[in-house]
């Protein structure tokens, strides 16, 4: 609100304002009653002489007008004490008090025989002394307070302006001169000059709010300098009241926020650009990750397949885990699951390249997963940067015989649940894929009998834990899989999600991916389903029965 409360730091922001200092003239400051007179009687000797003169003047006026003012004989002396204390301080005020009492006793109520009437006069004189001393003290304190306020206004780096209810300037400090360019002599008595015509309605609205008793805090408005240039200011305004509580004007303080607002707008623009860049990166990463998971419905005769993915940050939906299922033709199917250190676009790109390398090598050596992992490592080293690390589990299934051969590059060992609910941990560990790994990858073998389920998963599942407690662990996963009453892959996944959520208190801090494949009794039947993670808001919708064959 362009209220006349211009209180703005008189600093580098106040460029363009023609100041009175620059013209070699003194700033006109908002003055309080008596400020100029105090300056004239500022010398200590003058203050004491003024105290004596005021007492003498009060005596002369009282003697002259005594018949008219009696019995209020102390009226002029009270006025003398108040003026002396106001302009000279408590000491001169006390001197005027004593001289006034002596004058009354000597010239107005001269000493005489002790009588009842004379006693009353003495009591009145004593009361005068007490009240006059109190008046002197209060006047001195009020003067010091007024002086402090006057000094504060003059020294303030913020523009301070007071306005009449009609919006005319009644006080205009030096900071206002430096900020806006008008001198106090030019602004006082005029309608607020900083308000451009287009902002008059806004100014009047703010004035009306303050005059109604509201305090305005930090309203940001546009005003103008004397040269017509715009300036952004923050306004604080409050009503001024008289002794009866009636609003008599508005006190306003204006702070120049032009540069601050520009900086804030620049920060906001940078924030929007960063958000847009993040959104673009997220979209690209999401496309990459969609290629890292099975696309469409995969039918493997004689087998039921289920898979699930839960990102640690559902709103991002782009993590470092990846998995896929590849039909290698003839009778072989490959299952790939892995984890790239990190998240976002970089991790998605690394995961995509690793997975594509594995797929290309599987096309030439489908029955040699250990050789495929070694080839993936060589490819990884050609594009990896810094301390990048990938874990990868590769499983090749002969769907006719159920034979499984696998190689593991530092990944979590798969679980094999037999039809009798016994659980086997398939361990054949080699080093994770990184710049320092050179050891060969051992090959492991097993077999899926009808009713058996092979379960692959990432480390977000066994590493689930609450603050300050142990992880869920592979042993606990084995117990959950063994105890699950539902032998289907999706049933096992639901039980594992439930166990991880219960153990961590619902605070799952890492991505979780799972792929399960169960050998069916009917060699012609096939099932395929995505299992939505119950603990993740916004998870993908599960496929319906129509997607199962």
Tens-digit pLDDT profile for residues 44-78:
788 888 888 988 998 889 888 888 887 778 888 88
CB-hemisphere CA count at 13 Å for 38?
18
Contact (Cβ atoms closer than 8 angstroms) between residue 163 and residue 253: no
Q: How many residues does the chain have?
A: 549
Instruction: With a cut of 70, say whether residue 547 has pLDDT above it.
Output: no
Q: Are residue 164 and residue 225 in the same domain, yes or no? A: yes
The verdict on residue 32 lying in a domain is yes
Say whether pLDDT at 4 is over 80. Answer: no
Q: Which of 70-84, 171-185, 215-229, 403-417 has the lowest mean pLDDT?
A: 70-84
Instruction: Assess if residue 416 is contained within a domain.
Output: yes
Percentage of the chain surpassing pLDDT 70? 81
Residue 243 burial (10 A CB sphere; 0-12, 13-18, 19+): exposed
Please give the Cα distance from 227 to 220 (Å, whole number).
21
Mean pLDDT of the chain: 81
- Where among 204, 239, 256 does a domain terminate? 256
In a domain, 75, yes or no: yes
- Is residue 509, in this structure, part of any structural domain at all? yes
Task: Tell me, yes or no, whether 245 and 290 share the same domain.
Answer: no
> Which segment of 11-25, 252-266, 313-327 scores lowest on mean pLDDT?
11-25
Per-residue exposure over 292-325, b if at least 16 CB sit within 10 Å of its own CB, e if not: bbbeeebebebbbbbbbbbbbeeeebbbbbbbbb
DSSP β-ladder status, 321-327 and 332-340: antiparallel
Q: Residue 26: give its domain's CATH number.
A: 3.30.450.20
Residues 430 and 520 in one domain: yes
pTM: predicted TM-score of the whole model, two decimal places: 0.52
| 269 lies in some domain | no
The boundaries of the domain holding residue 433 are 283-547
| Same-domain status, 429 and 496 | yes
Shared domain for 237 and 333, answered yes or no, is no
- The residue with greater pLDDT, 504 or 343, is 504
pLDDT at 126: 74
Point out the domain boundary residue: 221, 239, 256.
Answer: 256
Q: Would residue 465 count as lying in a domain?
A: yes
In this model, does residue 512 exceed pLDDT 60? yes
The mean per-residue pLDDT over the stretch 372-386 comes to: 86
- Answer yes or no: do 116 and 247 share one domain: yes
Task: Looking at the structure, tell me whether residues 385 and 307 fall in a common domain.
Answer: yes
pLDDT-based confidence at 165, cuts 50/70/90? very high
Do 180 and 77 share a structural domain? yes
Total domains in the fold of the chain: 2
Q: Tell me whether residue 181 is in a domain.
A: yes
Note whether residue 262 is domain-resident: no
**pLDDT greater at residue 130 or residue 539:** 130
**6 & 98 share domain:** yes
The whole-angstrom distance between residue 50's C-alpha and the CA centroid of its chain comes to: 60
**Contacts of residue 280, Cβ cutoff 8 Å, sequence gap at least 6:** none
Are 109 and 125 in contact by the 8 Å Cβ rule? The answer is: yes
């Amino acid at each position: 609100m362009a209220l006349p409360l211009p209180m703005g730091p008189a600093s580098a922001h106040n460029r363009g304002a023609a100041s009175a200092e620059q013209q070699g003239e003194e700033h006109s400051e908002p003055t309080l009653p008596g400020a100029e007179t105090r300056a004239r009687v500022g010398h200590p000797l003058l203050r004491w002489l003024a105290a004596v003169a005021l007492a003498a003047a009060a005596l002369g006026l009282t003697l002259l007008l005594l018949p008219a003012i009696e019995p209020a004989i102390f009226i002029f002396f009270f006025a003398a004490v108040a003026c002396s204390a106001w302009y000279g301080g408590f000491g001169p005020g006390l001197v005027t008090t004593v001289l006034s009492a002596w004058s009354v006793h000597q010239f107005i109520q001269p000493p005489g025989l002790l009588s009842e009437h004379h006693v009353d006069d003495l009591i009145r004189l004593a009361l005068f002394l007490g009240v006059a001393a109190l008046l002197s003290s209060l006047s001195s304190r009020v003067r010091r307070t007024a002086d402090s306020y006057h000094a504060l206004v003059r020294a303030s780096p913020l523009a301070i302006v007071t306005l009449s209810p009609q919006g005319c300037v009644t006080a205009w400090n030096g900071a206002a001169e430096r900020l806006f360019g008008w001198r106090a002599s030019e602004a006082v008595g005029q309608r607020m000059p900083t308000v451009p015509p287009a902002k008059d309605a806004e100014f009047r609205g703010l004035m009306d709010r303050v005059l109604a008793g509201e305090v305005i805090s930090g309203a940001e408005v546009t005003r103008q300098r004397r040269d017509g240039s715009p300036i952004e200011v923050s306004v604080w305004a409050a009503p001024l009241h008289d002794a009866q509580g009636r609003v008599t004007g508005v006190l306003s303080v204006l702070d120049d926020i032009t540069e601050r607002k520009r900086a804030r707008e620049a920060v906001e623009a940078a924030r929007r650009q960063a958000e847009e860049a993040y959104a673009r990166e997220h979209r690209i990463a999401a496309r990459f990750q969609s290629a890292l998971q099975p696309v469409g419905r995969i039918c493997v005769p004689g087998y039921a397949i289920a898979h699930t993915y839960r990102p640690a940050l559902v709103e991002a939906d782009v993590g470092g885990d990846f998995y896929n299922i590849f039909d290698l033709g003839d009778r072989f199917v490959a299952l790939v699951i892995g984890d790239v250190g990190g998240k976002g676009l970089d991790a998605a790109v690394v995961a995509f390249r690793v997975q594509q390398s594995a797929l290309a090598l599987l096309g030439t050596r489908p029955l040699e997963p250990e050789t495929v992992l070694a080839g993936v490592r060589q490819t990884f080293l050609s594009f990896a940067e810094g301390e990048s690390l990938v874990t990868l589990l590769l499983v090749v299934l002969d769907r006719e015989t159920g034979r499984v051969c696998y190689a593991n590059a530092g990944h979590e060992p798969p679980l094999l649940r037999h039809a009798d609910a016994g659980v086997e941990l398939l361990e054949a560990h080699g080093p994770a894929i990184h710049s320092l790994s050179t050891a060969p990858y051992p090959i492991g073998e097993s077999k899926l009998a009808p009713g058996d389920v092979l379960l692959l998963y990432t480390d977000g599942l066994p590493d689930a834990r609450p603050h300050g407690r142990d992880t869920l662990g592979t042993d606990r996963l084995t117990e959950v899989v063994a105890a699950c009453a539902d032998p289907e892959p999706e049933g096992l996944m639901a039980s594992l999600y439930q166990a991880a959520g219960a153990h961590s208190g619902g605070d799952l801090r890492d991505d979780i991916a799972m792929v399960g494949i169960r050998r069916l009794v009917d060699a012609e039947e096939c099932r395929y389903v995505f299992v939505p993670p119950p603990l993740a808001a916004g998870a993908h919708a599960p496929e319906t029965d129509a997607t199962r064959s």
